[in-house]
Amino acid sequence: MANIQEIAKLAGVSSATVSRVINHKPHVSSETRAHVQQIINQLDYVPNINAVSLKKGATKMLGIVAPTFSDSLGTFLKNFTLAAQQGGYNVTLFLTGLDKQKELEAFERLRNKQLDGLVLVIRLNEWDVLESYAKYGPIVTWQRVEDRNIQSVFMNQYDGYMLALEHLYEKGYRKIVNAYGNTAGLNTKSREKAYADFCQKYDLNPNEFKHFYNQGHMSEGETMARWWVDQTHKPDAFVMATDYLASGLVTEAKRLGLSIPQDFAVVGFDNTLVAHLLDLTTIHYPIGKQGENAFIMIDNQLSKRTNPLEALSFHLVERLTT
Amino acid sequence: MANIQEIAKLAGVSSATVSRVINHKPHVSSETRAHVQQIINQLDYVPNINAVSLKKGATKMLGIVAPTFSDSLGTFLKNFTLAAQQGGYNVTLFLTGLDKQKELEAFERLRNKQLDGLVLVIRLNEWDVLESYAKYGPIVTWQRVEDRNIQSVFMNQYDGYMLALEHLYEKGYRKIVNAYGNTAGLNTKSREKAYADFCQKYDLNPNEFKHFYNQGHMSEGETMARWWVDQTHKPDAFVMATDYLASGLVTEAKRLGLSIPQDFAVVGFDNTLVAHLLDLTTIHYPIGKQGENAFIMIDNQLSKRTNPLEALSFHLVERLTT
DNA sequence: TTGTAGGCGTTATCAG
DNA sequence: CTGATAACGCCTACAA
């Protein structure tokens, strides 16, 4: 395999000159430049990137770390990767499952210089152990975090959730059931708070109905449709944690012969493909833009620039379920 | 940043000994080993992986190259990545868009030693230019290819498509419309062939209805529902190129007040989440297993092993649209 | 069992 | 404008 020395010898110059040609640096006469370039082409030479990385102490590689592969992650990953590639970086994916150790492995890559930066979608380990890696390179997360060493593209879902509630109120719905996500999650807390404030504002009883806490699987939405049928005192609207959950509810309702929004209204969250597919009213969650921002933040730190971030906001997408 | 020399000095040994300790090589007394290890822990030292890669000429990194991010790619990527991680590799994603140059960049990574192997989901460049990179490392593709230097996890869709057709026939449907994918694609050819053979076998007229060629977007399925309404001589079944296409057809049909499978039957392809969501009868396409096989093939070449591949086959998933 | 020293392929600093 | 040469951090014969 050809290396820079070989090129130098064949071109009758020093390796320094070859290096200058490769990296388009000045101080090479155009004749020598052309000549060296010709030899390079002739031998089909490319620089060994590991040597470059070793020398420069940077790899132009970023990592993205998440426990599992979901639709949302797909969107995030896609936009992040595209932005990164645009900026001259490549990105490698770490799927951690539920394995804390696996997550640490990704962070070790930052330490051992294989990665210049990292975006952590959902963490497994405690913040303080992850935070200790910040000194090895920029870390950005999707989640909310109070740490000046780790930046975040977090969006407070309070605002988005309130959008859904206000929309329902405006449409005349008063008997609203909430299906939240993970009990422990911060997003759930924000949404609960939004609902509490909403009830206070309009003088509604926040505990008129059961509150659901789900893992986001479609089948849990299906269960809720059957739950509705069983109730004597029935709600007239559902706000669902995700579009998938909502789609479970909607499709099962149809199987049961119910009609939406006549029997009850449904609002999803995220505005993913299924929402379009099922004509779901939903809250648009700009995950793609968050991915782009994640890159911008990393890039800004790495290159000490200060490029502006994309503006992020939720908005309501009204379709046929309300 | 601590390096091997520094550890050596502090431990009062040579860097060679430290290296032996790091890599768990024999010929080190357990006392020195323990001592060196202690210094390593103390200084929180990790080897610089770029130096290791440079020395060894391998990175334990694989690439995955695709034009755009889709649901199917997500499944493939997920399984491939998980398998790769299991085998001690990490994988980096290259999104090429429609840019041939971008695709070549990924292949250059193979050449310049940043990647040990590559899986090409959908190619942009011609096979012969891509094939010329095979000498730099193993390449596996999702597509069909006649090239002994590039392996493939391709599955002939003839078989899967025939499954759909036979199922419809068995259910009594005789007036079948086909919605294929890209005109140029090999999969389309296989499917056309399956349909031709099917018609021959049962003595049907293969050109009784228009043949559709689509890009796979949902809206094209929607268009087909409206097309059906406009026909005087109506078909009684549709075989759709993808579940998404099928879901467009099904949801639009419902909006138009049609009922499935009474007005017409629909069979999808891929068995993705939407198929479950909409109770679509479909053909299960084991994309995840193809991803795993892609890794096994690469790993076999890289480590000169010969691990067995997963068995791959289509099967029918009968739901409520037939 | 341990150490010495050369080399992996580049880049960057100095001289010239 | 060009060339020597010293790093970058690690591994591995070969010696001791």
Among chain A residues, CA nearest to B76: A69
The pLDDT assigned to A139 comes to 97
The pLDDT assigned to A108 comes to 93
CA distances (Å), origin A89, targets A230, A289, B54: 55, 18, 20
- Nucleotide with smallest C1' distance to residue B55 CA: C8
Q: Indicate yes or no: CB of A90 within 8 angstroms of CB of B91.
A: no
CB of B16 lies under 7 Å from some atom of strand C: yes
Domain with CATH 3.40.50.2300 in chain B: 59-155+288-307, 157-284
Question: Which structure tokens are listed for A151?
Answer: 């930046």
Q: Which CATH topology does A59-155+288-307 take?
A: Rossmann fold (3.40.50)
Q: Indicate yes or no: CB of A112 within 8 angstroms of CB of B274.
A: no
Q: Domain B157-284: give its CATH code.
A: 3.40.50.2300
Q: What is the torsion angle, in degrees rounded to the nearest 10, for the CA atoms of residue A135, residue A137, residue A143 and residue A145?
A: 20
Best residue of A103, A277, A279, A287 to probe chain B, by most B CBs closer than 10 Å: A277
Radius of gyration of chain A (CA): 26
At A54, give phi and psi (nearest 5°). Answer: -60, -50
The pLDDT assigned to B261 comes to 95
Q: Indicate yes or no: CB of A112 within 8 angstroms of CB of B69.
A: no
Q: Indicate yes or no: CB of B50 within 8 angstroms of CB of A69.
A: no
The pLDDT assigned to B305 comes to 87
CB of B47 lies under 7 Å from some atom of strand D: yes
The pLDDT assigned to B183 comes to 86
Rounded to a whole number of angstroms, the distance from the CA of A65 to the nearest CA of chain B is 12
Report chain B residues touching chain A, CB-CB < 8 A.
Answer: 46-51, 53-54, 59, 61, 69, 71, 74, 77-78, 81-82, 85, 90-95, 97, 102, 108-109, 111-114, 218, 244, 247-248, 251, 255, 273-274, 276-279
Name every residue whose Cβ is closer than 8 Å to that of residue B77 and which is 6 or more positions away in sequence: A69, A93, B64, B91, B93, B291
DSSP A281: B
pLDDT in tens, B208-264: 999 999 887 778 999 999 999 999 999 999 999 999 899 999 988 988 889 999 999
Q: What percent of chain B has pLDDT over 90?
A: 71
Q: Indicate yes or no: CB of A102 within 8 angstroms of CB of B85.
A: yes
* Interatomic CA distance for residues B222 and B249, integer angstroms: 5
Helix pair angle (B218-230, B243-255), 10° resolution: 50
Helix segments in chain B, DSSP class H: 4-11, 15-22, 30-43, 49-56, 71-86, 100-111, 127-131, 157-170, 186-202, 218-230, 243-255, 273-277, 287-303
Of A74, A95, A251, the CB nearest to B277: A251
Q: Chain A contacts of B77, Cβ < 8 Å?
A: 69, 93
Strand-strand pairing, B90-95 and B61-66: parallel
Q: Indicate yes or no: CB of A92 within 8 angstroms of CB of B91.
A: yes
* Interatomic CA distance for residues A31 and B79, integer angstroms: 51
Q: C12 C1' – A267 CA distance, angstroms?
A: 60
Question: Which structure tokens are listed for B78?
Answer: 């997920």
The pLDDT assigned to B1 comes to 65
- Nucleotide with smallest C1' distance to residue A6 CA: C9
* Interatomic CA distance for residues B235 and B252, integer angstroms: 17
pLDDT in tens, B292-302: 999 999 999 99
The pLDDT assigned to A1 comes to 66
CA distances (Å), origin A70, targets A180, A215, A280, B39, B224: 18, 13, 20, 42, 30
Q: D10 C1' – A49 CA distance, angstroms?
A: 16
Domain A4-47 matching CATH 1.20.210.10: the answer reads no
- pLDDT-based confidence at residue B113 (cuts at 50, 70, 90): confident
Summary mean pLDDT of chain B: 92
Q: pTM value? A: 0.90
- pLDDT-based confidence at residue B91 (cuts at 50, 70, 90): very high
What mean pLDDT is predicted for residues B168-183?
94
* Interatomic CA distance for residues A125 and A106, integer angstroms: 12
| pLDDT by residue, tens only, chain A of 322 residues | 688 888 898 899 988 999 999 889 888 888 899 989 998 888 888 899 999 999 989 999 999 999 988 888 899 999 999 999 999 999 999 999 889 999 999 999 999 989 999 999 999 999 999 999 999 999 999 998 888 899 999 999 999 999 999 999 999 999 999 999 888 888 899 999 999 999 999 999 999 999 999 887 788 999 999 999 999 999 999 999 999 899 999 988 988 989 999 999 999 999 988 898 889 999 999 999 999 999 999 999 999 889 999 999 999 999 999 9
Q: Chain A contacts of B49, Cβ < 8 Å?
A: 109, 112-114
CB of A17 lies under 7 Å from some atom of strand D: yes
Rounded to a whole number of angstroms, the distance from the CA of A205 to the nearest CA of chain B is 34
CB of B32 lies under 7 Å from some atom of strand C: yes
Q: D2 C1' – A210 CA distance, angstroms?
A: 80
The pLDDT assigned to B276 comes to 86
